Amino acid sequence: MSDVDHAAEGVIQEAGTIELNRPILVDGAERSAFAYDLGRITTAQFCAAEGAAKKASGFQATVYEMDYSFHLNLGFQAAIACDPSLDLSDLQRVAGPDLKKFVEVGRFFTGAAGGAEAPTSEEQPGSTQSDSQHL
């Protein structure tokens, strides 16, 4: 299981905590855990994440569901939404595999429609539990 809170194996929650394997310095203190809440991302934060992703891609058109830079920046903004004392420059010190944890959070935001759970890596694209279980 990853170091991102999960509702079930392989499924990210809308809010939780990311545990870093390599702590970073924030305001002179070492931090290895960051709360996040996708439901608290504001319009300004969403646009900031999109702007940062576009800048990183050289302003090339991308599909946001597949834009890892956008997902990363959404994950950062979800952490900032929980702790406004954080600055984007603080989170940009996250490195290595810890980056993927923020990407997973941002990917959940772009992939979960109407509060539905994001598909696990074991599910085939386009399939959902409701496809096979009609009540």
CB burial string 74-102: b at 16+ within 10 A, e below: bbbbbbbbeeeebeeebbeebeeebbbbb
Give residue 88's pLDDT.
94
What domain count does the chain have? 1
Report the chain (135 residues): mean pLDDT per 10 consecutive residues. 45 88 96 97 96 86 81 97 96 97 95 52 45 42
Flag whether the pTM goes above 0.85. Answer: no
d(CA 4, CA 79): 12
Give residue 57's pLDDT.
79
Give residue 94's pLDDT.
98
> Does any domain span residue 117?
no
CA 59 to chain centre: 21
> Does any domain span residue 76?
yes
> Does any domain span residue 124?
no
Give residue 106's pLDDT.
95
> Does any domain span residue 129?
no
Q: Which domain holds residue 79?
A: 6-112
> Does any domain span residue 121?
no
Give residue 134's pLDDT.
40
Give residue 111's pLDDT.
86
> Does any domain span residue 22?
yes
